[in-house]
Structure 1
């Protein structure tokens, strides 16, 4: 039976790690077929995150949402992870989107109108809330393809926030993570998009726990968080500048909802606990050196960062194979993977460095390279 999380909660910052899924390598599936997930290993990894005192951001892009994980698979992931969270007293927030609908990014013509987009969001919102999870309203490819301007975004989000039974997290994911989201909030002008985004928040501040910004632009995030209503958190999704954004300045700080904290869970938790104790120097000593690895994992094309994340989970012993949903383990080159291992090893991220080295050498042999 699952046991309650032993780690003390983080106090000074709310920190979520967006978690990856573990594929079932034994399943006979095709890249465009139904997903096959190793549920035992997937849930065990979430317990690993909770043991460090982090929250789990579930069914997000780190879990290959829209890049191998379809809506039926995401729905099952939300159900199982939410039940596990209740069993071990872990914090969880789940991605709510519209991926039941045809995706332009998958080469399919956008057929959904705004009503269909709204109903798809509502279906997923209901599932997350019925499971007892906090909802993260993710950016929608279908809405980006359908909306004719900012007013369509305002109307859609207004309806969703009115229905939400508890405060949600609003997620703005930039096109570097998903090219289909270019021009989100109805414009390519980021200043105008920011105004529309903040207009959504201002209309329903009691229904917005916080906003997650994934634009890889620290200055823009800082400027936006200073404009948020009192009580609305800013969750950084900036996997390049997270140490400085979480540390903050005289005007405030960002909380965190980060894919890079999947492989960095232990060090991230130690760093934030240093902040809890007022030791900013120790915080930076722990977290600043991880940025080189993060920048490597998230180098363009940024959306393929999941491959490096899963590689590191395998090397660290959290799963028994380097296989991904949809075959995405092939999305990064061998030199990229070798460098990820080197950077992670230099940070002492592997509980068993010898195991990590053995597994990396075995991967090199698969590629026909003699270690």
Structure 2
């Protein structure tokens, strides 16, 4: 139901200055609603800081991740998940951003590990009338859901390939059934003065009472698909993923492929950002034009891999093998290639600004010179990094 702000919500402030009663007009910021259904995973807080009273200032939105994540009971077992990233959007009625817009998309905010500090996003706003209504939504996709641990959901002897697909199946289930319509959201009112009486009509962003709930049919379907994974140890990752309804182009992003055998796999043109391929076998694989941002290939075997046009920014390739790999036109900015085998690697047209390399078996002097000329940095792993 639409709701109207009560009259007299803001009372004037009296100050006795020079023994006279003077009414001081002061701009205000108040909450209409704030909803954090997943407090143990992520919470949203807000404050407004005026730069010019009643005219403009910035909305400070604080995102508070919890180090221990959130536990869910499921199928007679349980799991714990945390969020490695979120998207944040802000809309304004009666105000504009510093770019003159009423809509502000912060984009993706990345949380690199479970134990991270709260992050604050400031949105510059200017009032265009006597009052303004602001709303913010925080959303998370399946690729941003990290399964930290599970208990009682499958036997302990699953192969790396089975574990990788089961992990992404759970992440997709959580995103679709628990993190919709949004992870958290809020609405706030800005008023130019305390004695303003804005008669605005507003309603909650989402009707929580009518929100979709997870049914026995939903969990039963998930259980059936997990059983398919358990009963199919011989299948490769792609076949196994398709068997349980995952789209290999986008549903494998954020996955744990630690030690998995992905020899000759075709994952070209896909989304695999934030994935963990540590120690995986990816010889002769096709990862061309694939988004692999922030992924971990430490110790992986990518000998002969075809990576042309891939987004490899901020990827960890330490101690991996990229012998005979094709890296033509890749984005390797801020990637870490220290200790990687780089024999006969083709870097033609690659972006290598702030790439770290050093102690690379097979790297020709001419290639080393080219990397340095194009913004890469020569460095070695510290003892502490080697022990991680």
TM-score higher than 0.5: no
Instruction: Name the one with the larger strand percent.
Output: 2
Short-chain TM bin? 0.3 to 0.5
Instruction: Name the one with the larger helix percent.
Output: 1
Give the structure, 1 or 2, with the largest relative contact order (CA under 8 Å, sep 6 or more).
Answer: 1
Give me the TM-score of the superposition, normalised by structure 2. Answer: 0.31
Q: Select the structure of larger CA radius of gyration.
A: 2
